[in-house]
Structure 1
Amino acid sequence: MIEITSRIQLDPREIQESFIRASGPGGQNVNKVSSAVELRFDAKNSPSLPEGVRERLMKLAGRRLTLTGEIVITAQSHRSQEMNRADALEKLVDLIRQATIVPKVRRKTKPTRASKEKRMDSKSKRGNVKKLRQGKPDY
C-alpha cells in the first residue's frame, strides 16, 4: 500500500504505468530506450479516496484529468526508467496530499470604523493635492 496520509492509502493495483520514449536530448539512446513514464490513476472510481478528497483532486488535476476521470502524469526528467517511475509516483502522491487539505471558508466581514476613517482621510488628502494643481500654470 502506498501511504498518502495516516487515513488514506492507495492500492498499487489502482495505478497503471506505461513506458514511452522521452523527448529531448539524449543522443542515440533516446531512440532506443523507453525511459519516460506515463502514470494513470482512475480518480473518479478509486475506492481509496473519500468523496471530498476525490472532488478536490479532480479540480486540482486540471489538464491532467481526462474526460473519463483518469489522472495522467508523465515523468521524463531523468535518464533512468526507475527514477522516472519514482518521480511520477511522487507527483501523484503530492497532488493527492494537496487535495486532502480542506480550504478555509471565507466569512464576510464589515470594515471597522477606524479603517473607514483612515480611508476617508486618505481620500480627502488626495483631493487636496489635486485641488492645489488646479491653480494657474507656472510659465
Structure 2
Amino acid sequence: MLYLNDELSLPLEQIQLEAMRAQGAGGQHVNKVSTAIHLRFDVGASSLPDWVKERLLAQSDRRLTSDGVWIIKSQQARSQLQNREAALERLREWILAALHTDPPRIATRPTRASRRRRLDAKQHRGRIKALRGPVNND
C-alpha cells in the first residue's frame, strides 16, 4: 500500500513495477544485474477519486502517455530496492502535487505610499534616460 496522506492510499497492485538493466557507466555490475526499475501507473484504472484523476490527466508532462499511463524509470541507485523506493516516492510526490491547491487570491489595492514610490521611480528613470541624449556645448 502506497500511503499518500491521511485520507488517500493506493494499493500496490495498481502500480506495475518491472526490473531491467540500467544504462550508462557502471561496468560489469550494470551489465549483469537488473537494478533499474520501470514503474507504470494507469491513472484512469486507479482507485483514486475522479477529481484527482482529472487533475493528474490535465497535467502536461512528458512522462504521461496519451493513454493516461504515467511512466517513471529509476536507475540512480545500485540496488533494485532503492530504485523501487525512489520510483514509488516520485509517484507519491506527483500525486500529492496534483492534490495541492493554492488559496484564492484576495484582490487588494496598492497603498498611497507604494503608488508614490512607483511614480518617483518612473520619474527618476525618465531623468536618467533624458541625460543619454546628445551633448550640447552651448
> How many Å apart are 1:59 and its aligned residue?
4.5
Structure-2 separation of matches of 1:80 and 1:90: 16
Aligned-pair Cα RMSD in Å: 2.4
Paired residue for 1:3?
A: 3
Give TM-score scaled by structure 2 length: 0.83
Decide which moves more: 104-113 or 118-127: 104-113
The residue number in structure 2 matching 1:65 is: 64
Letter in 1 for 2:103: K
- Distance in 2 (alpha carbons) for counterparts of 1:103 and 1:55: 17
- 1:37 and 1:27 map into 2 onto residues whose CA distance is 18
Q: What runs of 5+ residues in structure 2 fail to find an aligned partner?
A: none
- Measured in 2, the distance between the counterparts of 1:122 and 1:94 equals 43
Residue type matched to 1:136 in 2? N
Q: Which moved more, 1:114-123 or 1:17-26?
A: 114-123
* Equivalent runs, 1:1-139 vs 2, <5 Å: 1-47=1-47, 49-60=48-59, 62-132=61-131, 134=133, 135-136=135-136
Q: Distance in 1 between matches of 2:36 and 2:81?
A: 9
Q: Distance in 1 between matches of 2:115 and 2:32?
A: 69
User: What's the offset of the Cα at 1:109?
Assistant: 4.0
Q: Which structure features the higher share of helix residues?
A: 1
Percent of aligned pairs with the same residue?
44
Q: 1:61, 1:4 → 2: CA distance?
A: 21
In 2, Cα distance between equivalents of 1:131 and 1:111 = 28
The aligned length equals 137
CA distance in 1, matches of 2:114, 2:12: 55
What's the secondary structure of 2:62's corresponding residue?
helix
Q: Tell me by how many angstroms 1:74 deviates.
A: 0.8
